[in-house]
Amino acid sequence: MRIHNLYVDGDGETHFRDVQVEWAHDGPGGKLSARGPATGVIFRETAGDYDLDWHPAPRRQYIVNLDAGVEITTSDGETRVIGAGEVLLVEDVTGKGHLSKAVSGQIRHSIFIPID
């Protein structure tokens, strides 16, 4: 399983990388990762005209898109569409941040899972 990871380097530039989930257990119910930290759950609805200028993430967190995607652009110029059902780990809490906007005018429901 691949997770998109948005991170900041020592110069304050944001970048994407892919993180592979490592499986810790394989049983009759399927594969499981090791248990990770989480400090809560936040549910979010984002309007179809969402278009947020440069900003860092408010905290380290996983974002799980439920029914629509979001377009994210890093300060190094890479743009990715994180689709419905995909997971994004945002860690760019300092630096230049990123742009984010709705895809195809769709309302997006997502879950934020803070990890700090």
**CB of 17 closer than 8 Å to CB of 89:** no
Q: Which two tokens stand for residue 24?
A: 């810790």
CA-to-CA separations, 34 to 27, 60, 61, in angstroms, rounded:
13, 18, 17
Q: Is pLDDT at 77 greater than 90 in this prediction?
A: yes
Domain 2-22+35-114 class, CATH top level: mainly beta
Q: How far apart are CA 96 and CA 56, in angstroms?
A: 7
Could you tell me the residue ranges of all domains in the chain? 2-22+35-114
- Cα–Cα distances (Å) from 1 to 9, 19, 39, 77, in that order, read 24, 8, 23, 25
Nearest one of 45, 58, 92, 94 to 73, comparing CA atoms? 92
pLDDT value at 116 more than 90 = no
pLDDT tens digits for range 19-65: 999 999 999 999 999 999 999 999 999 999 999 999 999 999 999 99
What's the pLDDT score for residue 97? 97
In this prediction the pTM is 0.94
Give the C-alpha separation, 108 to 106, whole Å.
Answer: 6
pLDDT at 53: 98
